[in-house]
Amino acid sequence: MSRPTSAHGQVPRAPGIGPGGLQFRSHGFWDPKLEKQRGILFKGFLPFVAVMAIFIVWGVVSIYWGSLYETNTHRLSAYVINGDPNGQIGQTISSAILNTTQPLSPNYPRRLGWVERSLADFPTAASIEESVAVQEDCWIVVRILDNATAALQSARATADASWNPANVVQVYYSQARNYQANSQYTLGAVQEILQGTIPQLNVALLGAYISSSSNSGSSAQSALLNAASRAPATIVQPVAYTTNNLRPFNQTVTIATTFVGLIYVLILAFSTTMAGHGMRQPIQPWLKLSHLTAMRLLVPLFAYFWLSLSFAALNTPFKVAFTGLNGNAAAGFFAFWAAMFTGMTVFGYVTEAFLCILGPKFIVFGLMFWIILNVSSANYPLEMLNVFYRYGYAMPFYNLKQIFLTIIFNTGRHIMILQYFGVLWAWLAVALLTMPFWFWYEQHNTIQERKAQMAGGQGYPTPATSTGVVGPAAYRSEKDLEGSNNHQDGAGNRGMPPSFTSSHTTPRSTRELGEEESHISSHGR
């Protein structure tokens, strides 16, 4: 039988298909008939905004603000090696560095943790590199030339044209260890000290030399003129400094690899968690707890395996060199992939736990908390942050970043990679041990919600429909809505679309729900 149509050939909308005479897609937002529905909306939305403002902004986001607020640069160790302790050059420069107790400028408000070390500790440039770039005992070293003052006097007396002012002061640092801290605090602070001290020192050295020559007779004056003509560097600017970047951060694209990209890895893992949550609903309610646990732990691994491989391979067309491990790019790539796979698995399992604890509606709070905790401890060196941020040594972001820096830039001791991997494996161990409990907790809460709805007289659908995959009390399409009023099935259910029958919507009793929970507790494993 054909359905009645209007003069325009359209199917008329059935009246009164909702409670209180509500009609499908026929009301304005402020319609008095929607007063109850508006109340439900506002009662849910306003508390959400309050929680976001108080808990997320002030309680979580403020953690990141705090990591940038307090910069205790005096905790960053720095060495002065004075090879000219009895000369004017060595005494002037070392004193300027070691006595820097006042703010240098608004850009560098704190001094570094300067320590004077002896020549015996660092006899060669290689020993300095070992300390700065391999052992990472300190962040920066200022090395003053051995007997610099006496060497300058000899060069002036002999008019030595080979005198190189840049060799007098050598600065050693490892930029790749933390390019932000080195650029803003360590190297910048040292350069400001030297740029303020060396010009004054050069003027003092020149004045003293001219005065000495004037008082020493014609031979000394002739030596001055000879040096000025043949070796002007010994007269005009005899002292300068050179910076030696032992581990240059010369691949800008690795900012994405070693820091920002980690946020994307976490988001990919979170997306995998939420996609898996939706796709497993048809089977999840019917599985024993042991099988549910195995499914939720093993199935995502397939996604993490390929996603981490794809993420690692993404670096190759952008010429990221994985040569930090003794120049072996192949070994570096697979080590990078292994770290990425481990890290993504950790992120995925943690978000699975958040899903069980908070549920799909509130998992965003857990995700933001997890991101902020990691990002706050992976930006600047933990030594210079407030002691609160020492938790960062146990965070996945920090340990992944250290692994990547070693693989790409050859920073630190290679053996430390095992320690960083160990932290990630510890996260995996905790996740594997606690996941069964979180899955049981999720099932327990679901059953309690069903009981509460039964007690309120609302009824509740079967487990297969409670997940949201099939909504027995909801209409599937506008076509179903239009034909629902006149439909009556064999069980006398009026107003239900033909696509649903009474067998889908018959609520189970509280006794049956209790039996289900007992079955899960006793036989779920």
Choice between 347 and 284, residue whose per-residue pLDDT is larger:
347
Mean pLDDT, the chain, whole residue set: 82
Q: Which of 292-296, 374-378, 484-488 is the most confident on average?
A: 374-378
Percentage of the residues of the chain whose pLDDT score is greater than 70: 79
CA atoms within 13 A on the CB side of 403: 28
Choice between 349 and 463, residue whose per-residue pLDDT is larger:
349
Q: What is the mean pLDDT of residues 87-109?
A: 78
pLDDT above 80: residue 107: no
Strand order of the β-sheet with 169-173 is 113-117, 77-82, 140-144, 169-173, 241-245
Q: What is the mean pLDDT of residues 103-118?
A: 73
pLDDT digits (tens, 9 = 90+) for 398-425: 999 999 999 999 999 999 999 999 999 9
Cα-only R_g, the chain? 36
User: What is this structure's pTM?
Assistant: 0.79
In degrees and rounded to multiples of 5, residue 244 shows phi and psi of: -120, 105
Q: What is the mean pLDDT of residues 436-461?
A: 73
**Band of pLDDT at residue 443, cut at 50, 70 and 90:** confident
pLDDT digits (tens, 9 = 90+) for 223-245: 677 777 788 888 889 999 999 99
Choice between 173 and 48, residue whose per-residue pLDDT is larger:
173
Residue 480 identity: D
Q: In this predicted structure, what is the pLDDT of residue 275?
A: 93
Residue 271 identity: S
Strand partners, 140: 78, 173
CA angle 132, 138, 139 (to 5 degrees): 80
pLDDT digits (tens, 9 = 90+) for 275-288: 998 898 888 888 88
Question: Residue 73: helix, strand or coil by DSSP?
Answer: helix
Domain ranges for the chain: 36-63, 76-245, 254-445
Cβ proximity of 353 and 434 under 8 Å: yes
Residue 234 identity: T
| Count of other CB atoms within 10 angstroms of residue 506 | 12
Q: What is the mean pLDDT of residues 174-181?
A: 93
Structure tokens at 89: 């050059």
Second-level CATH architecture of 76-245: 3-Layer(aba) Sandwich (3.40)
163-197 burial code (b ≥16 CB/10 A, e <16): bebeebbbbbbbbbbbbebbebbbbbbbeebbeeb
pLDDT above 60: residue 349: yes
pLDDT above 70: residue 217: no
How remote is the C-alpha of 236 from its chain's centroid? 50
